[in-house]
Amino acid sequence: MNTAREIRNIWDEIGRMKTRTAGSSSGAVKTFLGLNDTPAAYAGAALQVVRVNAGANALEFAAGGAGDVVGPAGATDNALARFHLATGKIIQNSNAILNDAGLLLLAETANTKMTIGLTINQAANSNEILAFKQSNVAHGCTTYAETDTYYNTQIFIAATGGALISAFSQDYASCVIRGYFKTDNTTFATNWSAVIRLEAAKISAPGYGNCAAKQNVVAIRASRNATIESVWMANEAGQTWQTGTVWINDNSNVDMTIGQTINQGANDDEIQAYKSSDVAHGCTDYAETDTFGSLAKINAANGGLMLNGFTVGAVGIGMRGFFGTDNTTKSVAGAAACQVIGYKISGAGITNSSADQNIFCVRTQRGGALETVVIIDEDGDIYYDGALQNYDDFDDALACRDAKQILSGRAKDFLKYNRKSLEEMGIVSAGGFISNKGMTALMLGAISQLHEENNFLKKQIAALAA
């Protein structure tokens, strides 16, 4: 109010304001402009509002908002106001609540598991609950989203729940999950994690319990055969399954339909290794101590497959052939439960082995070197290390006769060379096996002794005849 004179306001019984100066009871002001601290006229102040001036000592007219906003008589606490109709003058209540902590609730009133964030209650609807769009996108997959939607989220099964996350692209790269990290983690163990991880937990209200044995936890699916099918799966035990070939450092093998193809590149060490925590052979110059088997190239440049077996026992490699059909054919067409086949390469195919080509051999480390002890060649000849034992101190022919009797089960008590004798000579083993090398040496000795005796008899006969 004007400080030059004291003005007192008096309201009459019908709401009219009267003013008077100090000590006066008359001079009532009947119009707003009659006040001495207001503008002199209404001219130019259409649709303006009254406000206190910048000096805070008088009133003035000033432009207000673009429209007169009218709201409801009541509203929900913390609800976001919404315009009603298109006039810009009417607001209404909403079911979107933004509380003081920063929690935004859509069609929901509370979420005890969220302090700051967004909660959306979709009620009984089962279409998109969240969609992101971009004007450059036009994928055309309008059965599942509007053409400019590049990402959406919705309930997977309306009756049971689950989230369906979809990404749409005009290119081949549709969905990328990227994790940025600062701390390295190179440990493979059940209690360690990774930059990007997928987790599956079976609900056991109010928390979770263990998955059932071999419960499928991750699946990769693709549209093929007119439907969406699983092509790769992993279960809770870490076991994986897939429908096609496994490619490692390669992407093509015309000779494989379903299997595993590994391209080792220029590396020359193991291409596969098989381990067991029970094994500790100690031969670490050739494999880690818990490796019981491995595959590698024989020659770095020429190739060939080396099969290695490691054991602290007696057998490093065992080979079994289980068969259902008998084959007793003893000819070039004969087959067996376990076969060894040697093919000579010729262009893109094979050709006949050369005469006397070695097909199969047995080698061992002895005398400080790796040496061959047995060879089978292309025409069936068997060769072995030729150093033979000399049995000249024995009656070789008699020993051959006694060996025949013993091995045929018709041994007599009067035999000079019994089984124990044959074992000491190295002809047979304690287990009943025959030494091919020992038997050959014995027969050669017997023939040689008989030849010498025959020559001696010839000379005696000739002398008697003369």
pLDDT for position 10:
52
pLDDT for position 30:
83
User: In terms of Cα–Cα distance, which of 308, 447, 326 is closest to 388?
Assistant: 447
Q: Is pLDDT larger for residue 8 or for residue 319?
A: 319
pLDDT for position 3:
44
Segment 204-230 mean pLDDT: 96
Residue 65 confidence (pLDDT) above 50: yes
**Residue 139 tokens, joined:** 């994928």
Neighbouring C-beta atoms of residue 445, cutoff 10 Å: 22
SS (H, E, C) the chain: CCCCCCEEEEECCCCCEEEEECCCCCCCCCCHHHCCCCCCCCCCCCCEEEEECCCCCCEEEEECCCCCCECCCCCCCCECCEECCCCCCEEECCCEEECCCCEEEECCCCCCCCCCEEEECCCCCCCEEEEEECCCCCCCCCCCCCCCEEEEEEEEECCCEEEEEEECCCCCCCCCCCCCCCCCCCCCCCCCCCCCCCCCCEEECCEEECCCCCCEEEEEEEEECCEEEEEEEEECCCCEEECCCEEECCCCCCCCCCCEEECCCCCCCCCEEEECCCCCCCCCCCCCCCEEEEEEEEECCCEEEEEEECCCCCCCCCCCCCCCCCCCCCCCCCCCCCCCCCCEEECCEEECCCCCCEEEEEEEEECCEEEEEEEEECCCCEEECCCCCCCCCCCHHHHHHHHHHHHCCCCCCCCCCCHHHHHHHCCECCCCCECHHHHHHHHHHHHHHHHHHHHHHHHHHHHHHC
Report residue 437: phi and psi, to 5°: -65, -45
Segment 348-361 mean pLDDT: 96
Residue 6 confidence (pLDDT) above 60: no
The mean of the pLDDT values for the chain is 91
Residue 7 confidence (pLDDT) above 60: no
156, 127 contact by CB (below 8 A): no
pLDDT for position 5:
45
Segment 142-164 mean pLDDT: 97
Per-residue pLDDT tens over the stretch 226-250: 999 999 999 999 999 999 999 999 9
Q: How do beta strands 117-120 and 128-133 pair?
A: unpaired
pLDDT for position 2:
46
Residue 312 confidence (pLDDT) above 90: yes
Segment 134-148 mean pLDDT: 97
> Among 64-73, 220-229, 364-373, 438-447, which is the least confidently predicted range?
64-73
pLDDT for position 79:
95
Counting beta carbons within 10 angstroms of the beta carbon of residue 63, is it exposed (0 to 12), middle (13 to 18) or buried (19 or more)? exposed
Q: Which amino acid is at 43?
A: A
pLDDT for position 425:
92
Distances (CA, A) of 69 to 46, 79, 171, 277, 461: 17, 17, 48, 78, 149
Distance CA 95, CA 121 (A): 10
Per-residue pLDDT tens over the stretch 105-123: 999 999 999 999 999 999 9
- Residue 163's pLDDT band, with cuts at 50, 70 and 90, is very high
pLDDT for position 88:
86
**Residue 309 tokens, joined:** 């077996």
Distance CA 414, CA 405 (A): 11
Segment 21-45 mean pLDDT: 78
pLDDT for position 29:
79
Residue boundaries of the structural domains of the chain? 122-176, 344-384, 396-465
Report residue 383: phi and psi, to 5°: -120, 145
Distances (CA, A) of 415 to 124, 150, 212, 411, 448: 101, 97, 72, 7, 22
Per-residue pLDDT tens over the stretch 384-393: 998 888 888 8
**Residue 267 tokens, joined:** 């590396």
Distance CA 385, CA 438 (A): 12
Segment 316-337 mean pLDDT: 95
